Amino acid sequence: MLQVKDTELPNIIQLKNISQTYTGGKEFIIKDLDFLIEDKPGQGQFVVILGASGCGKSTLLRYIAGLQEPTSGEVLLRDKPVRQSGIRAGMVFQQYSSLPWLTVLENVELGLEFQNVEPKERRRRAQEMIDLVGLNGHENKYAVYPTLSGGQLQRVAIARSIIASPDILLMDEPFGALDINTRLQMQDLLEDVWLKFQPTIVFVTHDIEEAVYLADDIYIMAANPGRFVHHVSVDLPFNRDLEVKHSAKFNEIVRHVEDRMIEVSKL
């Protein structure tokens, strides 16, 4: 079981002694799990969670988003229960989550509409975000496949999540259904968005190279029951590009994470 290390930095996400059962305690999906993400001032944090299917990765994201409560334990955002924290959390799923009866512009505006931003201002800000994620010219198309490609629909989802200035962005295998070229483009887009807006990102993936390219820190979960067993600090340049992917250091970290994943599969 991985031990939580609490420093003097402020906490932004903390899961304390979390357990999840759907059988009255006969079987546990997650058992006695502790997890801590600290807030890095002026930078945010990019955390990636790796682990086999069924170990509870997506369930952890739902806890943080306030979509599910654990059977036991505490979920705290800035040291307060989720619903009392005032923290804004956006979420991007693997499945396309845009509203197909709305245009790209209308989808991106949604977060600002919920914040009661007046129409002219929210349209201006939505257009800026659309330009940032490379959807200029698609504003008035309906956000539905095949009118838009899978990569374009995920750009809509990222823009919609970021525009409301969330403190936390939760991403559940958002690029898993994309072809390799689009996936690589989306990784670079997400890197640019993170550097610009500096939210704390918690990103779930099964792709080790993707994890190493994006993360500050990688946490590896074991299953039956789900718990964290390894932490890998990614010692790579803050700004990353194709040259970083081709470096010996990048490949060394990938091999290290692969070795830890093999260890976990034998637990």
Task: Quick: pLDDT tens for 128-174.
Answer: 999 999 999 999 999 999 999 989 999 999 999 999 888 999 999 99
**Six-digit token pair at 229?**
């067993």
pLDDT value of residue 71: 96
pLDDT value of residue 41: 75
Distance (Å, rounded) from C-alpha 235 to C-alpha 16? 27
SS3 61: helix
Does residue 88 surpass a pLDDT of 90?
no
Strand partners, 48: 203, 218
* Average pLDDT score, the chain: 92
| pLDDT average, residue stretch 14-19 | 96
Q: How far is CA 56 from the centre of its chain?
A: 14
44 falls in which pLDDT band (50, 70, 90)?
Answer: confident
| pLDDT average, residue stretch 214-241 | 93
pLDDT value of residue 203: 97
| pLDDT average, residue stretch 235-251 | 92
Does residue 119 surpass a pLDDT of 90?
yes
Distance (Å, rounded) from C-alpha 77 to C-alpha 93? 21
Does residue 95 surpass a pLDDT of 80?
no
CATH number of 1-88+169-175+199-267: 3.40.50.300
pLDDT value of residue 114: 85
pLDDT value of residue 196: 87
244 falls in which pLDDT band (50, 70, 90)?
Answer: very high
19 falls in which pLDDT band (50, 70, 90)?
Answer: very high
What single string gives the DSSP state of each residue in 189-245? HHHHHHHHH--EEEEE-S-HHHHHHH-SEEEEEETTTBEEEEEEE--S-SS--HHHH
pLDDT value of residue 3: 74
pLDDT value of residue 40: 81
| pLDDT average, residue stretch 114-133 | 92
Cα Rg for the chain, rounded, in angstroms? 19
With the CA atoms of 5, 11, 16 and 19 taken in that order, what torsion angle do they form, in degrees rounded to the nearest 10?
Answer: -110
57 contacts 49 by C-beta, under 8 angstroms: yes
Residue spans of the domains in the chain: they are 1-88+169-175+199-267
What single string gives the DSSP state of each residue in 65-120? HTS---SEEEEEETTEEGGGS---EEEE-SS--S-TTSBHHHHHHHHHHHTT--HH
Q: How far is CA 23 from the centre of its chain?
A: 29
